[in-house]
Amino acid sequence: MECFKRSFPKTRLRRLRYTPWVRNLHAETVLTSKDLIWPVFIRSPQGEEAITSMPGVRRFTVEEVGKAAEEAYALGIEAMALFPYTDTSLKNPEGSEAWNPDNLICQAIQAIKNACPQMGLIADVALDPYTDHGHDGLWIEGDVDNDQTLQALAKQALILARAGIDAVAPSDMMDGRVGVLRDALDQAGFEKVIILSYAAKYASSLYGPFRDAAGSGLSLGKGTKETYQMNPANRKEAMREIALDVEEGADVIIVKPGTFYLDIIHEASNIFPLPIHAYHVSGEYSMLKAASEKGYINYERALMENLLAFKRAGASVIWTYAALDAARVLAKLN
């Protein structure tokens, strides 16, 4: 610190902060709407539209989602992630609606591609939206059976690929699933389908609003996913998970949640030479909304600061339910 004391007053760092053009010119981290993925929930016409635990977020019907995609694309957002709100009558222990070629996600893929063919589409590969127990895989004798689940996930991925999906995102956290999906897709002629792996998905307390939105919370009840999602205490294990998924053929790595795991994003971006995505999860989004409604924070400013933190930590892309909000803010700034 002595060198800085000797350089004052010749060295004044505030000179690069006084005016907007100087601040903008020397910003070390840049966020654009093209850095954002918009997660969207799809419902049947009979399903509920509102999501009370996620203010400002709604469920779209298949008929509505094409227009929503056009709006997002006009704001500069070039990718959407699709999640179903499955009617309870369609759920069963096997989650077989996941490989119904006419399920909500397959219908939504076709609707969006017809309305906005340039939009990139991502779909999760996991069974929790479709199982009556709310778990991501096949529940057998008190736990999710890893190896039997892999075959079900491969069937789901192939249905999505045939429907026209651009990328699949296995969020189940089963061991070996990336390799099984890559083999299944390649053997069926879908070698161009991207695998975005939730390699470091933690057993977080921040998924509650998502489970409300997707309808899996009631099915899961008081159950937990701690036997397959990661322990929040672990950092080295995340690097092992990522390394294994890269070896098995993952094209992109996702860290979920984002804000509480900036250290994981940062370390992964320094170690692995492939894109690292941060997932700004439902609880993170809803906390911003709740604090804003109480008047504790300015929502737009806090949101943009939150998203910049992901980029600064090393994420190349951010999944956020606030993608449209952020894109509108960025449009105003430009």
What positions carry a catalytic annotation?
Answer: 201, 256
Terminal alpha carbon distance of the chain: 38
- List CB contacts of 287: < 8 A, sequence separation 6 or more: none
Alpha helices for 249-296 (secondary structure H): 262-271, 282-293
Chain length of the chain: 334
Q: What secondary structure letter does DSSP report for 258?
A: S
CA distance 47 to 299: 29
**Strands 143-144 and 139-140, sheet pairing:** antiparallel
Backbone phi, psi, residue 182, to 5°: -60, -45
Q: Which two tokens stand for residue 203?
A: 């057993």
Closest to 137 (Cα-Cα) out of 147, 149, 125, 129: 149
Backbone phi, psi, residue 44, to 5°: -80, 165
**Letter for the amino acid at 9?**
P
